[in-house]
Structure 1
Amino acid sequence: MENTKHMTHKMPTKEERHKLFGSVKPGPKQKPTDKNKMPDLQNVQKDFLFDIDAVGISNVKHPIIVQSNLNPTTQTTIATFKLTSKIEKTSKGTNMSRFTEQLNQYHEKGFIANFDSLKQFTKDLAERLDQNDATIELRFPWFFERRGPQSDLVGMNHADISMLVTYDAVKGCSIHASLTASITTLCPCSKEISEYSAHNQRGHITMEVSFTDDFDETKTDWKEMLLEAAESNASARLHPVLKRPDEKMVTEQAYENPRFVEDMVRLVAADLYESPFITKFEVSCRNEESIHMHDAVASLRYNKLDSSSL
């Protein structure tokens, strides 16, 4: 039988233990506890030298609801928020608690992350802060079903999404978004010079886009559109579940569609150029090279409102 040690001495009380580890009794309280009697440093009005372009909170994690045309059509995910507003040099600071206060109010109603709700959020936030502007930025993973091309077996893929909405009392709202999707690319040079086979790699396509003022999110799922722009121009799509017949199809498809990073950014840019509700965009591609120690990168930007871009 194993020897066991049993506690034989009496433990101090919890209060005594806390005192042992440094806790002390509360001291005298002289400052007011009534909010109306407390000094409000943020609202001090003086000449504080400079206007501030953005002040607020960041790295705030909060649940949101995401809707799309792809299954699952409604999902809950975790977003990382950044909430800011400008302040003039006559104000010492902003009211930080009002940012999270409003975020929680929207959460209680079911915070659907679409541009209509974000537009209303920034307008409400500006009014709450007694400012003429407000900006909200959120980043989150968006999940979607992907089926094996031959087996039709289902798994979940994801892309990284960001949404940015800025409200200005005079100019109104501007809306921007980005999507990063992972793809397969097969090296055209390797295919060209080799007797057989070609090396391939995982690529990452990032598209940052600005939308027209009249963009209607209820008619077009921009997430699905950006995902398709990335995946349809790749050598092959990525799949969470692949059986042998699937793998054969994906491997052969990649071999039939070789792509450099330069090819990728130009092909994706062409799709974005043809989209009537995108005004400007930036496309970048990063390939994790399979036979090099480095990554291959390429990027381009285009403003459709600037006639000198082409």
Structure 2
Amino acid sequence: MHNTYKQQSTSLPTKEERHKLFGSVDPGPKYKPTDKSEMPDLQNSKQDFLFSIDVVGINNVKHPIKVNSSLTPHEQTTIGTFTFSSSVARGSKGTNMSRFTEQLTKYSENGFTVDMETLKEFTQELAGRLKQNDAFVQVEFPWFFERKGPSSELAGMNHADAYITVSYSADTGFDIEAGLTGKITTLCPCSKEISEYSAHNQRGNVSMSVELSDDFDETTMDWKEALLEAAESNASARIHPVLKRPDEKMVTEQAYENPRFVEDMVRLVAADLYEYTFVEAFEVSCQNEESIHLHDAIATISFDKRIDELG
């Protein structure tokens, strides 16, 4: 069946007349140049502007990216949310904002695969494009991975929120940080101890930020899987997208056998991050969305293996 568009006969003014009714006016005379070479460039003006600027740039830039993963799906397309910035010297008016997105478009022409080596190259090139001695790039993205029910082995798709930041300085080189937030189940040890029949549980959000060693090789280890395992293996139970009754029995019994306070979670995850040789410093936090309280429970640990000692 074909839909036929029929214009109703009305007594409305023409579209041009309607626009003028709501404030549109005819273009006025134009005197300023239209050729880029003749346009003034205020951002590139040079004089004493009182202060240098630590950070100037753009954020909340969404763009499709490709991500490689050691877990299925091994190659995936997702959405990256970018932040780009650099410093500006006291003698410069500002930065050229369009150059950030020009750089992103250049790398996206053949599909932007986000990994640390590519982002290092990207950031160093960005500094050159901006004519600055430094540049900063952060990309946040949902990372997807297959998860099977422990009994049925029925598969579904889970995800965690990951990010990479790369800071480049012509004087000091690169600093790289990575992070991940994953969801877990925790069961309250106090509730288990005092209750006759059961124990309340909650969904926890474990967030980790890590500074990586200079010799870390992303081609031999997937940092996303490593951080996810640090969170999930220390929880009362893992989160599953598909659970049949035999699966649910196994997951709830596992949670009951492994009660965790929010304090327990950050200490256990910190122990795993401490043992990871590719991690030099870390921060781990956990926020439990309580099921029988109106508040959430939180805890955080920061540790730098280069300066801190255990014991």
Q: Report TM bin, short chain.
A: over 0.9
Q: Letter of the aligned partner of 2:117 in structure 1?
A: D
Q: Letter of the aligned partner of 1:284 in structure 2?
A: S
Q: Which residue of 2 aligns with 1:304?
A: 305
1:135 aligns with 2:141: no
State the shift of 1:163 in Å. 1.1
Q: Which residue of 2 aligns with 1:101?
A: 102
Q: Which residue of 1 aligns with 2:247?
A: 246
Q: Letter of the aligned partner of 1:278 in structure 2?
A: V
State the shift of 1:55 in Å. 0.4
State the shift of 1:15 in Å. 2.4
Q: Letter of the aligned partner of 2:78 in structure 1?
A: T
Q: Distance in 2 between the 1:71 and 1:32 partners? A: 55
Alignment check: 8 A CA contact 1:150 1:246 kept: yes
* TM-score, length-scaled by structure 2: 0.95
Q: Which residue of 2 aligns with 1:3?
A: none
1:213 aligns with 2:214: yes
Q: Which residue of 1 aligns with 2:3?
A: none
Look up the SS of the partner of 1:85 in the other structure: strand
1:26 aligns with 2:56: no
- Post-superposition Cα deviations, 1:4-33, rounded to whole Å, max 9, x if no partner, equal xx9444544332332232221111110111
Q: Which residue of 2 aligns with 1:88?
A: 89
Q: Letter of the aligned partner of 2:32 in structure 1?
A: K
- Post-superposition Cα deviations, 1:87-136, rounded to whole Å, max 9, x if no partner, equal 10000000000001111111112111110111011001000000010000
Name which of structure 1's ranges 108-117 and 118-127 shifts more when overlaid on structure 2. 108-117
Q: Distance in 1 between the 2:87 and 2:287 partners? A: 35
Look up the SS of the partner of 2:239 in the other structure: coil
Alignment check: 8 A CA contact 1:303 1:309 kept: no
Q: Which residue of 1 aligns with 2:123?
A: 122
Q: Which residue of 2 aligns with 1:199?
A: 200
5+ residue gaps, structure 1? 1-5
Alignment of 1:199-278 (within 5 A): 199-278=200-279
Q: Distance in 2 between the 1:9 and 1:131 partners? A: 60
Q: Distance in 2 between the 1:294 and 1:120 partners? A: 44
Q: Distance in 2 between the 1:132 and 1:124 partners? A: 11
Alignment check: 8 A CA contact 1:178 1:209 kept: yes
Alignment check: 8 A CA contact 1:272 1:281 kept: yes
1:279 aligns with 2:280: yes
Alignment check: 8 A CA contact 1:143 1:159 kept: yes
1:65 aligns with 2:61: no
1:155 aligns with 2:160: no
Q: Letter of the aligned partner of 1:251 in structure 2?
A: T
Q: Distance in 1 between the 2:91 and 2:73 partners? A: 49
Q: Distance in 1 between the 2:10 and 2:67 partners? A: 57
5+ residue gaps, structure 2? 1-6
- Post-superposition Cα deviations, 1:239-283, rounded to whole Å, max 9, x if no partner, equal 000000000000110011111111110110011001111000001
* TM-score, length-scaled by structure 1: 0.96
Q: Letter of the aligned partner of 1:198 in structure 2?
A: A
Look up the SS of the partner of 1:90 in the other structure: coil
- Post-superposition Cα deviations, 1:137-173, rounded to whole Å, max 9, x if no partner, equal 1111111110000000011111011111001112111
- Post-superposition Cα deviations, 1:7-66, rounded to whole Å, max 9, x if no partner, equal 444544332332232221111110111111111101111010111001010111111111
Name which of structure 1's ranges 9-18 and 221-230 shifts more when overlaid on structure 2. 9-18
Alignment check: 8 A CA contact 1:64 1:79 kept: yes
Q: Distance in 2 between the 1:48 and 1:294 partners? A: 47
State the shift of 1:308 in Å. 4.4
Q: Distance in 2 between the 1:142 and 1:69 partners? A: 11
Look up the SS of the partner of 2:168 in the other structure: strand
Q: Distance in 1 between the 2:277 and 2:245 partners? A: 40
Q: Distance in 2 between the 1:309 and 1:237 partners? A: 29
Q: Which residue of 1 aligns with 2:167?
A: 166
> What is the percentage of aligned positions where both structures have the same residue?
68
Alignment check: 8 A CA contact 1:302 1:309 kept: no
Q: Distance in 1 between the 2:9 and 2:163 partners? A: 59
State the shift of 1:214 in Å. 1.4
Q: Distance in 2 between the 1:309 and 1:151 partners? A: 42
Q: Letter of the aligned partner of 2:182 in structure 1?
A: A
Alignment check: 8 A CA contact 1:42 1:93 kept: yes
Q: Note the aligned Cα RMSD (angstroms).
A: 1.3
Q: Distance in 1 between the 2:115 and 2:146 partners? A: 20
Look up the SS of the partner of 1:180 in the other structure: strand
Alignment check: 8 A CA contact 1:284 1:298 kept: yes
